[in-house]
Structure 1
């Protein structure tokens, strides 16, 4: 499944040096954070709960950090988590004259008995930093970001996704962002070893890539101008449909009686209904309004016994949609 990640611009431009696997862990953290903020029901393989000492506890399947690689004994994932426990994210908020620095994860536990899941904690301070959109944000496709083999490709993809206008960076600033101070003394080497390979990988499969031009001060290369290039052939079709649907009114696929029932009985918000508009589209195409309302009334008898009625309702509706699809498919194959 692919989703569109919304990442704080603070993180996009922060100074850090992660491996590809560490970055994938970070992507999954942001994905779960986003689901929490949007009130979405998590896949049953994942969990996100409040912990003690102002922290959040994440449980994620190990396979979620891999991209089809063979990782025997999960050596790479273990190494990435060990490294993240030792690393800190530093961000210098010059506008407010505040320097932030904190570790990423702690209390990591890999459970071989629970379908190979890994549990870890993130300090609330880091969670807030990851989801701080006060300085702006960037959107990018999670599936695309997870498949890159180079950490520099990942960084440029984040910077340039949905970017409409050219953007300039000094070589010094880029090296600071990528934690490459002291390396590639010659700007041409930095371009050849970092920028050019990232562009090549983006060109192959990314919805966004770039053309670049060097900026000179006198005869010396001191910066790079990045001109974003949109490659729509690599966009996820399902995500494009989701974007279009998110701009529709809930009423398009959710009749007023159904909307009123869900709001009155379960206190669903417009945003929560819109987050599940794809599900309601499926039901709209397969059930009459009266049938759907009858089904919801039947569910009402059971929701008083569940901890999270909203999640239960959405889960039951998903199962109903799957059942209807299977019945239709079975009849079509008779």
Structure 2
């Protein structure tokens, strides 16, 4: 399977910003689109993200995807992020910028077209040593925006396997928590940190542990340590290689079989014919996530 790589400058990884889950996914898919299509990223030409890509990558329902992407367009246009750089004299420059300069949703095509703002283009596209790379697959199953942010923050420290001490307020901003949200530490841990750590540990290629730092009885910050799941990942990849794999002929054959199966009715749309439904099932069977989901029904129509 082709690896879809996200590349971000660590200035952006460490930026303070607040994007919800759909907006983060949309940004990442746009980065992948630029890389895989060879278009590159600039401040003039729009990148297209198709709803079909969103559905397949993140395994979400079609109708939910359409509305989520449409809403994300409205919200993303007003989103801002902040980051720091150094002047020629070594002074800290505090920057603020929008993520996109233009964004549009094409109704009848279910396509998002966006243009990144001039400030963010070099942060995404420069390929230097301080950049962090990770595969899209690592965050595909994360359903918490905080988990995505935590994973991004951590892998910037992949060479050491542990972060430095991060002040509580700095960490809240980095992970995308507003000043008005989860003010009590109990709520922050329950609804943000614990969920993020649990999802990263369960769905990604690293296992993370957090250490709380206190001054007196108050928590003043956090540090994290994490390990790579080499053995688990290798066995998982091997399992996937041995797992479901259909030829084009099998996909065509079983898509026709499945289209007539009563249990498949939950996947049908409107008054589409069996042939129309079979065409959509072909797409589903080419998606590893959907293929796994449909395995019991495949066996029911004769797949061994």
Q: How far does the alpha carbon of each residue in 1:26-47 deviate from its partner, in whole angstroms, 9 at most, with x for none? A: 11232244x2xxxx654xxxx5
Supply the distance in 1 between the matched residues of 2:117 and 2:111 (Cα, whole angstroms).
Answer: 20
Contact preservation (8 Å) 2:33, 2:48: no
- TM-score scaled to structure 1, two decimals? 0.60
Q: How far does the alpha carbon of each residue in 1:216-270 deviate from its partner, in whole angstroms, 9 at most, with x for none? A: 11222111121112222236849xxxxxxxxxxxxxxxxxxxxxxxxxxxxxxxx
Counterpart residue number, 1:248: none
Contact preservation (8 Å) 1:160, 1:208: no
- TM-score scaled to structure 2, two decimals? 0.65
Supply the distance in 1 between the matched residues of 2:196 and 2:93 (Cα, whole angstroms).
Answer: 32
Q: How does 1:67-82 map to 2 (within 5 A)?
A: 67-72=58-63, 74-82=66-74
Alignment CA distance shift 1:237-1:4 (3 Å): farther
Q: How far does the alpha carbon of each residue in 1:188-211 deviate from its partner, in whole angstroms, 9 at most, with x for none? A: 432232111111111212101311
Asked whether 1:157 is paired with 2:158, we answer no
Counterpart residue number, 1:27: 28
Per-residue deviation, 1:156: 1.1
Corresponding residue SS for 1:147: coil
Alignment CA distance shift 1:107-1:176 (3 Å): closer
Supply the distance in 2 between the matched residues of 1:6 and 1:129 (Cα, whole angstroms).
Answer: 9
Counterpart residue number, 1:103: 98
Per-residue deviation, 1:174: 0.7
Higher Rg = 1
Q: How does 1:125-144 map to 2 (within 5 A)?
A: 125-132=119-126, 136-144=130-138
Alignment CA distance shift 1:213-1:15 (3 Å): same
Counterpart residue number, 2:168: 171
Corresponding residue SS for 2:120: helix
Contact preservation (8 Å) 1:184, 1:190: yes
Per-residue deviation, 1:15: 0.8
Q: Which consecutive unaligned segments of at least 5 residues does structure 2 have? A: 239-304
Per-residue deviation, 1:112: 4.8
Supply the distance in 1 between the matched residues of 2:79 and 2:3 (Cα, whole angstroms).
Answer: 28
Per-residue deviation, 1:157: 1.0
Alignment CA distance shift 1:88-1:49 (3 Å): closer
Counterpart residue number, 1:55: 44
Q: Of the candidates 110, 113, 121, which is equivalent to residue 119 of structure 1?
A: 113
Contact preservation (8 Å) 1:89, 1:101: yes
Counterpart residue number, 2:11: 10
Alignment CA distance shift 1:49-1:149 (3 Å): closer
RMSD: 2.7
Counterpart residue number, 2:276: none
Corresponding residue SS for 2:45: strand
Contact preservation (8 Å) 2:7, 2:124: no
Count, aligned residues: 225
Q: Which consecutive unaligned segments of at least 5 residues does structure 1 have? A: 239-334
Supply the distance in 1 between the matched residues of 2:187 and 2:126 (Cα, whole angstroms).
Answer: 34
